Amino acid sequence: MNRTELVAAMAEKAGVSKKDADNILKAFIDTVESAVKADDKVQLVGFGTFESRERAAREGKNPRTGEKITIAASKVPAFKAGKAFKDLLK
């Protein structure tokens, strides 16, 4: 499902226009991105948690040359599915 299909499905379920559903989706995404960027967690009980995680520096290999390189530490976005969401897939 792509964004257009998601917006259409949300609009139908909520009984709102596609434009309103798109605005709501955009607001949700912007809010989650801002919170995760500020190192906050966004917890939606039963659905899951959006957060940022620290990835430690590590050693890797350049696949082209085989030369060892150091991969810098970084922050990455993460999503952990909640129990109710996981149970849907069983």
pLDDT in the model for residue 90: 85
> How far apart, in whole angstroms, are the C-alpha atoms of residue 41 and residue 64?
38
Count the domains in the chain.
Answer: 1
Give the Å distances, CA to CA, from 59 to 35, 46, 54, 63, 70.
30, 37, 16, 13, 5
pLDDT, mean over the chain: 96
Direct distance between the N- and C-terminal alpha carbons of the chain, in angstroms, rounded to an integer:
21
CATH of the domain at 56: 4.10.520.10
When pLDDT is averaged across residues 17-25 and rounded to a whole number, the result is 97
pTM of the model as a whole: 0.81
* Residue numbers of the domain that contains 30: 3-88
When pLDDT is averaged across residues 66-82 and rounded to a whole number, the result is 95
pLDDT in the model for residue 18: 97
CA quadruple 11, 14, 17, 22: dihedral sign = negative
